Amino acid sequence: MDRNRIKKLAGDPRFISGIHNYCDRWCERCPLTHRCLNYLLSEEEFADPETRDLENEKFWEKLGEVLSDTVEMLHEMAEEAGIDLDAVDATESLKERKNRRKIAENRPAVRSARAYGKMVNQWFDMANILLKEKETELLEKARLELPNIDPAGEAADITDATEIIRWYQYQIYVKLMRAFQGKEDEAEDPEFWKEFPKDSDGSAKVSLIGIDRSIAAWDRLRGHFPEQESELLNILRHLDRLRKKVEKEFPEARSFIRPGLDNPEEYGEGEA
Protein backbone atom coordinates (compact mmCIF):
# COMPACT_ATOMS: atom_id res chain seq x y z
CA MET A 1 0.00 0.00 0.00
CA ASP A 2 1.47 3.32 -1.14
CA ARG A 3 0.54 5.67 1.69
CA ASN A 4 1.60 8.81 -0.19
CA ARG A 5 -0.57 7.81 -3.14
CA ILE A 6 -3.53 7.23 -0.82
CA LYS A 7 -3.15 10.69 0.70
CA LYS A 8 -3.08 12.17 -2.79
CA LEU A 9 -6.14 10.21 -3.89
CA ALA A 10 -8.01 11.28 -0.76
CA GLY A 11 -7.93 14.83 -2.10
CA ASP A 12 -9.03 13.81 -5.59
CA PRO A 13 -12.46 15.36 -6.38
CA ARG A 14 -13.41 12.21 -8.28
CA PHE A 15 -14.02 10.53 -4.95
CA ILE A 16 -16.84 11.44 -2.58
CA SER A 17 -15.48 11.83 0.93
CA GLY A 18 -17.15 9.48 3.42
CA ILE A 19 -19.41 7.75 0.90
CA HIS A 20 -18.40 4.32 2.23
CA ASN A 21 -19.19 5.18 5.85
CA TYR A 22 -22.95 4.81 5.46
CA CYS A 23 -23.36 2.37 2.59
CA ASP A 24 -24.62 -1.22 2.77
CA ARG A 25 -21.33 -2.67 1.40
CA TRP A 26 -23.14 -4.18 -1.58
CA CYS A 27 -20.63 -2.89 -4.12
CA GLU A 28 -21.96 -5.12 -6.91
CA ARG A 29 -25.26 -3.21 -6.79
CA CYS A 30 -23.89 0.25 -6.15
CA PRO A 31 -23.97 2.78 -9.04
CA LEU A 32 -21.32 4.95 -7.36
CA THR A 33 -18.33 2.63 -6.97
CA HIS A 34 -16.44 4.86 -9.41
CA ARG A 35 -16.74 7.67 -6.83
CA CYS A 36 -15.62 5.53 -3.86
CA LEU A 37 -11.95 5.54 -2.89
CA ASN A 38 -12.52 2.64 -0.50
CA TYR A 39 -13.79 0.52 -3.41
CA LEU A 40 -10.84 1.44 -5.63
CA LEU A 41 -8.28 0.57 -2.96
CA SER A 42 -10.03 -2.70 -2.09
CA GLU A 43 -10.07 -3.74 -5.74
CA GLU A 44 -6.37 -2.96 -6.04
CA GLU A 45 -5.25 -4.56 -2.79
CA PHE A 46 -7.33 -7.70 -3.30
CA ALA A 47 -7.00 -8.02 -7.09
CA ASP A 48 -5.56 -11.54 -6.78
CA PRO A 49 -8.48 -14.02 -6.47
CA GLU A 50 -6.54 -15.90 -3.78
CA THR A 51 -6.54 -12.79 -1.58
CA ARG A 52 -10.36 -12.76 -1.70
CA ASP A 53 -10.70 -16.31 -0.43
CA LEU A 54 -11.09 -16.44 3.36
CA GLU A 55 -9.84 -20.03 3.33
CA ASN A 56 -6.61 -19.03 1.62
CA GLU A 57 -3.53 -17.99 3.61
CA LYS A 58 -2.92 -15.15 1.15
CA PHE A 59 -6.14 -13.48 2.24
CA TRP A 60 -4.98 -13.23 5.84
CA GLU A 61 -1.48 -12.16 4.82
CA LYS A 62 -2.88 -9.35 2.69
CA LEU A 63 -5.35 -8.34 5.40
CA GLY A 64 -2.49 -8.17 7.90
CA GLU A 65 -0.50 -5.93 5.56
CA VAL A 66 -3.46 -3.59 5.05
CA LEU A 67 -4.14 -3.34 8.78
CA SER A 68 -0.47 -2.70 9.54
CA ASP A 69 -0.27 0.06 6.95
CA THR A 70 -3.52 1.54 8.25
CA VAL A 71 -2.19 1.70 11.81
CA GLU A 72 0.98 3.42 10.60
CA MET A 73 -1.08 5.95 8.67
CA LEU A 74 -3.22 6.66 11.74
CA HIS A 75 -0.11 7.30 13.80
CA GLU A 76 1.26 9.64 11.12
CA MET A 77 -2.02 11.56 10.94
CA ALA A 78 -2.23 11.78 14.74
CA GLU A 79 1.32 13.08 14.93
CA GLU A 80 0.56 15.73 12.29
CA ALA A 81 -2.48 16.77 14.34
CA GLY A 82 -0.45 16.90 17.54
CA ILE A 83 -2.19 13.92 19.14
CA ASP A 84 -0.17 11.50 21.25
CA LEU A 85 -1.82 8.11 20.76
CA ASP A 86 0.56 6.53 23.25
CA ALA A 87 -0.94 8.72 25.96
CA VAL A 88 -4.31 7.03 25.54
CA ASP A 89 -5.11 4.45 28.22
CA ALA A 90 -5.82 1.49 25.93
CA THR A 91 -6.90 -0.79 28.77
CA GLU A 92 -9.45 1.68 30.12
CA SER A 93 -10.64 2.48 26.60
CA LEU A 94 -11.16 -1.19 25.80
CA LYS A 95 -13.07 -1.74 29.04
CA GLU A 96 -15.29 1.24 28.26
CA ARG A 97 -16.01 -0.06 24.74
CA LYS A 98 -16.95 -3.47 26.12
CA ASN A 99 -19.37 -1.87 28.57
CA ARG A 100 -20.99 0.16 25.83
CA ARG A 101 -21.25 -2.89 23.61
CA LYS A 102 -23.00 -4.76 26.41
CA ILE A 103 -25.46 -1.90 26.86
CA ALA A 104 -26.15 -1.81 23.13
CA GLU A 105 -26.67 -5.57 22.94
CA ASN A 106 -29.47 -5.32 25.51
CA ARG A 107 -31.42 -2.64 23.67
CA PRO A 108 -34.86 -3.99 22.61
CA ALA A 109 -34.29 -3.07 18.96
CA VAL A 110 -30.92 -4.83 18.89
CA ARG A 111 -32.37 -7.94 20.51
CA SER A 112 -35.15 -7.86 17.95
CA ALA A 113 -32.63 -7.56 15.10
CA ARG A 114 -30.66 -10.50 16.46
CA ALA A 115 -33.86 -12.55 16.69
CA TYR A 116 -34.67 -11.65 13.08
CA GLY A 117 -31.34 -13.09 11.92
CA LYS A 118 -32.31 -16.40 13.48
CA MET A 119 -35.81 -16.25 11.98
CA VAL A 120 -34.31 -15.96 8.49
CA ASN A 121 -32.21 -19.10 8.97
CA GLN A 122 -35.16 -20.98 10.41
CA TRP A 123 -37.40 -20.14 7.48
CA PHE A 124 -34.87 -21.04 4.80
CA ASP A 125 -33.99 -24.29 6.59
CA MET A 126 -37.67 -25.16 6.72
CA ALA A 127 -38.32 -24.01 3.14
CA ASN A 128 -35.40 -25.85 1.58
CA ILE A 129 -37.63 -28.59 0.15
CA LEU A 130 -40.22 -26.00 -0.86
CA LEU A 131 -37.63 -24.05 -2.85
CA LYS A 132 -36.47 -27.19 -4.64
CA GLU A 133 -40.07 -28.03 -5.51
CA LYS A 134 -40.52 -24.52 -6.89
CA GLU A 135 -37.40 -24.96 -9.01
CA THR A 136 -38.78 -28.21 -10.45
CA GLU A 137 -42.12 -26.55 -11.11
CA LEU A 138 -40.53 -23.63 -12.98
CA LEU A 139 -38.34 -25.93 -15.06
CA GLU A 140 -41.44 -27.88 -16.09
CA LYS A 141 -43.25 -24.68 -17.03
CA ALA A 142 -40.26 -23.63 -19.12
CA ARG A 143 -40.22 -27.01 -20.87
CA LEU A 144 -43.92 -26.78 -21.71
CA GLU A 145 -43.55 -23.20 -23.03
CA LEU A 146 -46.99 -22.26 -21.72
CA PRO A 147 -48.44 -18.97 -23.04
CA ASN A 148 -48.41 -15.90 -20.78
CA ILE A 149 -46.15 -17.70 -18.32
CA ASP A 150 -42.65 -16.40 -17.51
CA PRO A 151 -40.86 -19.06 -15.41
CA ALA A 152 -37.46 -17.42 -16.00
CA GLY A 153 -38.76 -14.11 -14.70
CA GLU A 154 -40.31 -15.76 -11.66
CA ALA A 155 -37.09 -17.63 -10.90
CA ALA A 156 -35.10 -14.40 -11.22
CA ASP A 157 -37.48 -12.60 -8.87
CA ILE A 158 -37.22 -15.33 -6.23
CA THR A 159 -33.43 -15.35 -6.52
CA ASP A 160 -33.23 -11.57 -6.24
CA ALA A 161 -35.54 -11.44 -3.21
CA THR A 162 -33.54 -14.18 -1.53
CA GLU A 163 -30.24 -12.40 -2.16
CA ILE A 164 -31.63 -9.19 -0.64
CA ILE A 165 -32.88 -10.98 2.46
CA ARG A 166 -29.60 -12.80 2.96
CA TRP A 167 -27.52 -9.65 2.40
CA TYR A 168 -29.27 -7.65 5.10
CA GLN A 169 -29.96 -10.57 7.44
CA TYR A 170 -27.10 -9.76 9.83
CA GLN A 171 -26.20 -6.28 8.62
CA ILE A 172 -29.33 -4.83 10.24
CA TYR A 173 -28.05 -6.04 13.62
CA VAL A 174 -24.47 -4.87 13.00
CA LYS A 175 -25.53 -1.37 11.95
CA LEU A 176 -27.88 -1.07 14.92
CA MET A 177 -25.06 -2.02 17.27
CA ARG A 178 -22.94 0.74 15.79
CA ALA A 179 -25.85 3.18 16.03
CA PHE A 180 -26.48 2.54 19.71
CA GLN A 181 -22.79 2.56 20.62
CA GLY A 182 -22.44 5.81 18.70
CA LYS A 183 -25.38 7.23 20.59
CA GLU A 184 -23.52 6.57 23.85
CA ASP A 185 -20.41 8.31 22.50
CA GLU A 186 -22.42 11.33 21.35
CA ALA A 187 -24.08 11.67 24.74
CA GLU A 188 -20.69 12.57 26.22
CA ASP A 189 -20.48 15.75 24.16
CA PRO A 190 -24.00 16.77 23.10
CA GLU A 191 -23.00 20.38 22.35
CA PHE A 192 -20.44 19.24 19.78
CA TRP A 193 -22.93 17.01 17.97
CA LYS A 194 -25.44 19.83 17.67
CA GLU A 195 -23.20 21.20 14.93
CA PHE A 196 -22.73 17.98 12.95
CA PRO A 197 -24.81 15.10 11.56
CA LYS A 198 -24.74 12.26 14.09
CA ASP A 199 -22.94 9.07 13.16
CA SER A 200 -25.58 7.15 15.13
CA ASP A 201 -28.31 8.50 12.83
CA GLY A 202 -26.29 7.53 9.76
CA SER A 203 -25.81 3.98 10.99
CA ALA A 204 -29.46 3.72 12.02
CA LYS A 205 -30.48 4.89 8.54
CA VAL A 206 -28.47 2.09 6.90
CA SER A 207 -30.22 -0.33 9.23
CA LEU A 208 -33.62 1.11 8.28
CA ILE A 209 -32.79 0.80 4.59
CA GLY A 210 -31.94 -2.85 5.17
CA ILE A 211 -35.25 -3.36 7.00
CA ASP A 212 -37.23 -1.59 4.26
CA ARG A 213 -35.64 -3.63 1.49
CA SER A 214 -36.01 -6.86 3.45
CA ILE A 215 -39.72 -6.21 4.00
CA ALA A 216 -40.19 -5.64 0.27
CA ALA A 217 -38.24 -8.83 -0.53
CA TRP A 218 -40.24 -10.98 1.91
CA ASP A 219 -43.45 -9.58 0.46
CA ARG A 220 -42.30 -10.66 -3.00
CA LEU A 221 -41.63 -14.19 -1.71
CA ARG A 222 -45.10 -14.20 -0.19
CA GLY A 223 -46.48 -13.81 -3.70
CA HIS A 224 -44.51 -16.83 -4.93
CA PHE A 225 -45.27 -19.05 -1.93
CA PRO A 226 -48.93 -18.44 -0.91
CA GLU A 227 -48.85 -21.65 1.14
CA GLN A 228 -46.34 -19.88 3.43
CA GLU A 229 -48.66 -16.92 4.06
CA SER A 230 -48.82 -17.35 7.83
CA GLU A 231 -45.07 -17.88 8.33
CA LEU A 232 -44.09 -15.01 6.06
CA LEU A 233 -46.59 -12.61 7.62
CA ASN A 234 -45.07 -13.41 11.00
CA ILE A 235 -41.64 -12.39 9.70
CA LEU A 236 -43.07 -9.25 8.11
CA ARG A 237 -44.79 -8.25 11.37
CA HIS A 238 -41.53 -8.76 13.25
CA LEU A 239 -39.65 -6.53 10.79
CA ASP A 240 -42.34 -3.87 10.92
CA ARG A 241 -42.17 -3.75 14.72
CA LEU A 242 -38.37 -3.57 14.50
CA ARG A 243 -38.60 -0.70 12.03
CA LYS A 244 -40.86 1.25 14.40
CA LYS A 245 -38.48 0.65 17.32
CA VAL A 246 -35.54 2.00 15.32
CA GLU A 247 -37.49 5.03 14.12
CA LYS A 248 -38.51 5.78 17.72
CA GLU A 249 -34.94 5.49 19.02
CA PHE A 250 -33.47 7.49 16.12
CA PRO A 251 -36.15 9.97 14.99
CA GLU A 252 -33.65 11.92 12.84
CA ALA A 253 -32.24 8.87 11.05
CA ARG A 254 -34.52 9.05 8.00
CA SER A 255 -33.44 12.64 7.31
CA PHE A 256 -29.70 11.89 7.62
CA ILE A 257 -27.98 12.67 4.30
CA ARG A 258 -25.44 10.03 3.31
CA PRO A 259 -22.71 11.66 1.18
CA GLY A 260 -23.32 10.87 -2.49
CA LEU A 261 -25.89 8.18 -1.85
CA ASP A 262 -28.74 10.47 -0.82
CA ASN A 263 -27.68 13.57 -2.76
CA PRO A 264 -25.97 12.28 -5.94
CA GLU A 265 -26.99 15.35 -7.90
CA GLU A 266 -24.71 17.48 -5.71
CA TYR A 267 -21.78 15.44 -6.97
CA GLY A 268 -22.77 15.53 -10.63
CA GLU A 269 -24.50 12.13 -10.55
CA GLY A 270 -28.04 11.07 -11.39
CA GLU A 271 -30.41 9.40 -8.92
CA ALA A 272 -28.61 6.62 -7.00
> Which range is least confidently modeled, 26-35, 43-52, 155-164, 189-198?
43-52
Domain map (residue ranges) of the chain: 3-88, 102-267
pTM assigned to the model: 0.83
pLDDT in tens, 88-138: 555 656 777 788 888 899 999 999 999 999 999 999 999 999 999 999 988
* pLDDT at residue 4, rounded to an integer: 67
In a 10 Å sphere around its CB, with 0-12 CB exposed, 13-18 middle and 19+ buried, how is residue 153 labelled? Answer: exposed
Q: How far apart are CA 111 and CA 30, in angstroms?
A: 29
